[in-house]
Amino acid sequence: MTAERVLTPTPTAYRWRWPALTALLLGEAMNLLDATIVQVAAPRIHADLGGSVSDIQWFTTAYTLPFAVLLITGGRLGDIAGRKRLFVIGVTGFMVASAACAAAPSVGLLIAFRVVQGAAAAVIIPQTIGLIKTMFAGPEMSKALGSIGPVMGLAAVCGPVLGGVLTHADLFGSSWRAAFLVNVPVSLLVLAISPKLMENRAPKRPTLDVTGTLLAMAGIGLVVYPLIGADLIALSGWSWAAIAAGLCLMVLFTVHQRAVAAAGRSPLVEPSLFAHRGFPAALVTSTAFFAVTNGLMMVIVLQLQLGLGTDVLKSGLTLAPWSVGLAVASWVAGAHLVKRYGHRMMSLGLAVLLAGSLAAIAVYHAADPHRYPTPLLFALGVVGVGVGLFSPAFFTIALAPLQPQEIGSAAGLLNAVQQLGATLGVAILGSVYLGSAGDGGAPGALHAVQLAFWVAAALVVVSFVTSRSMVDRDAAGGAGAGH
């Protein structure tokens, strides 16, 4: 069977389906890993290349922002031009951009290449589900699709620790550049296997919403840019003007999406999703949740490296309890607890996250500003358990009320707001820390963790709306079992 043709085969007869799945999962892991792997290395990059301290935030946001905004457009391009073709183009672009990041001689060029990396990631990630559905069927398809979640979780777990280990190892004098160079051999392996992928595209080609994409990029960019490195208590007049302009563009984006849908074309965001009252709450929850978790990770790294002068390896290993807690709790919740307790796991996960945040607040409140905060390890482990308990239940609950034809669009949008949340968290919590770092960085970390705590507390209310919407729907349809 020729892998290059556009086919609708009997998927279980396709002999290369498992190696092809390996390529897809490696591509997913590599791109999701890059959202966090640089966070631990960022202070070392700043020390090497110089520039403003706020550039540390840009090393992450320059990747996650285009990743978020272009993710749905990347999926549409795959529908139109072929998902295998776009996957290969994306991996190639990601590899070249990674090599360019590793060779970057200045802060400005590194940030520019990170933008290209993020755009390439937005092309790669949306192709995975469609390609899996082309090559698998029946129980094998469920097994293949079910492998995506653990791979995403593993990438989240490994990113910060791997960034610290690679940077500390200083292989061949590469220092922080190894955090980018690691993508090159992985990309080459993915490209070597990718001929085994089967081409696939949508039977009915959607249109590209270029205007909607540009409006979303400009609107979100105008909101995020003034927040990075800013004094959030006393934002300048131009900062408020930029944020106001960004919000106006987002309103215009909403109007445009409704007009595109009414005209029978393909909007960037499917308006019918918002007919389900729980879905907007799910989007808000996802954005805030990943803002808290990614922002906290950045603050901890900044406090350890900039505040205490801790080396990059110790900083990375400090996040290991978070990673281990997340991995174990996510596996237990996904395999056993969500099926039995349903939406209650969201509340439990948030409660544990709040407990971990309170423990971190206590640590920073009592911390000796010149000593490594050892009790923080326990607090981070608790936070990781909370994240691991919350995530599997959240995505199950968020997608459950939707119609089958809406699932793909909704999943893409949830992934997009996840990256947007990461961008906002790094921007806001990072700026809170930098604006009040103080002696040893503990005061700034305390303020940032306190803000994260109150955002997480507000999430309890929003998640209650999300989960109750699902429960009400189940009760009306007589499908309440398991919740």
Q: Which portions of the chain are predicted below pLDDT 50? A: 1-12, 474-475, 477-483
CA separation for the pair 278, 462 (Å, rounded): 9
The pLDDT value given to residue 251: 93
How many residues make up the chain in this entry?
A: 483
Structure tokens at 455: 């955002």
The pLDDT value given to residue 440: 77
Residues 6+ apart with CB under 8 A from 365: 446
Whether the CB-CB separation of 34 and 183 falls below 8 Å is answered with: yes
pLDDT digits (tens, 9 = 90+) for 362-376: 999 887 878 899 999
Whether the CB-CB separation of 129 and 78 falls below 8 Å is answered with: no
Structure tokens at 447: 């303020």
pLDDT digits (tens, 9 = 90+) for 163-220: 888 888 888 888 889 999 999 999 999 999 999 888 877 777 778 888 988 999 999 9
Structure tokens at 357: 């945040």
The pLDDT value given to residue 31: 84
The pLDDT value given to residue 465: 63
pLDDT digits (tens, 9 = 90+) for 27-49: 988 888 887 888 888 899 998 99
The pLDDT value given to residue 8: 45
Residue type, 438: G
Using alpha carbons only, give the angle 429, 433, 436 rounded to the nearest 5 degrees.
Answer: 135
The pLDDT value given to residue 12: 46
Residue type, 455: V
Instruction: Output the CA torsion 437→441→446→447 (10° steps).
Output: 10
The pLDDT value given to residue 473: 52
Q: Tokens 């809406």 — which residue?
A: 406
CA separation for the pair 430, 229 (Å, rounded): 8
Whether the CB-CB separation of 147 and 25 falls below 8 Å is answered with: yes
Cα 170 from chain centroid (whole Å): 27
Cα maximum dimension of the chain = 66
User: Could you say which DSSP state residue 270 is in?
Assistant: -
Whether the CB-CB separation of 12 and 137 falls below 8 Å is answered with: yes
